[in-house]
Amino acid sequence: MKLSIEFHVIQCSCGLSYALPLDWIKERRKDHKIFYCPACKEGQYYPNESNRERLERLLGQERNCCISAREDANYFEKKAQGYKGYATRLKKALKETAS
C-alpha cells in the first residue's frame, strides 16, 4: 500500500516554516477558519473570498436584480392596464356627453 499526501508550506511571521496537508489548507481557504502556528500560536486564516465565493455572491446579486426587475415590470404592466381601462371609460363618457 502506498500513501501519498501533498503538503503546503506556510511561513509564519515568527520565522517558523511548517507544512500542512494541502487538502486541509484548501478547506481553510473555503471556510476561512483560524489555524495556529505550532511555535508562537499566532492565529492565521485566509480572509479573502475565493473566486467561487465571489462568483456565487455576484450570481446571487444578479438573481435578486432580475427578480426585482421582473416584479417592477409586472407592477408597471398592471398599472398600464389600469390606465388603459381608465382611458376607455373616459372615451365612452365623452361619446355619451357628445351625443
34-74 pLDDT tens trace: 999 999 999 998 888 888 888 999 999 999 999 999 999 99
Domain segments of the chain as ranges: 7-44
Whether 33 and 47 have beta carbons less than 8 Å apart is answered as no
Quote the mean pLDDT of the chain: 91
Q: What's the pLDDT at 48? A: 83
Helix (H) or strand (E) holding 85: helix 51-98
Q: What was the pLDDT predicted at 9?
A: 95
Q: Could you tell me the pTM of the whole model? A: 0.51
Cell numbers linked to 32: 476561512
SS3 25: helix
3-state helix, strand, coil in the chain (%, to 5): 60, 15, 25
